[in-house]
Amino acid sequence: MKARIPGADKGSMMQKLQQMQEEIARRQEEIENSEFTSSSGGGAVEVTVNGRHEAVKITLSPEIVDPDDIEMLQDLITAAFNESVRKAAEAMEKAIEQAKGGLSIPGLM
């Protein structure tokens, strides 16, 4: 038995799906062009990535650059980078969910 949505014909449903797909694409592009910044070490390291998860900028406070403790600096950069990527991924997921309007469509993110 097929479910019927009152007042919805195949043409209008396809049009709504196409509009949703266009909205998702628009939001994805918007997120990809956005920047996400995180810091670690109390702000000593700051990393900015774009929505494509590419590093855009890394800022280091001069006082944390200790040639005898490179491992700490590497850990701080890694932590800030990973948090920025997490923020970018979360923003993308939220934008797509908003564009879908609560619909659950198999194969559509």
Using the predicted structure, report yes or no on whether residue 7 has a pLDDT greater than 70: no
The pLDDT score that the predictor gives to residue 5 is 54
CA distance 36 to 60: 17
Among residues 61, 71, 12, 21, the alpha carbon closest in space to that of 40 is found at: 61
Q: What class has domain 27-100?
A: alpha beta
Mean pLDDT score of the chain: 87
Domain boundaries, the chain: 27-100
Q: What stretches of the chain show up as alpha helix (H) in DSSP?
A: 10-32, 70-100
CA distance 25 to 109: 12
* Phi, psi (rounded to 5 degrees) for 56: -105, -40
| Tens-digit pLDDT profile for residues 24-66 | 999 999 999 999 999 999 999 999 999 999 999 999 999 988 8
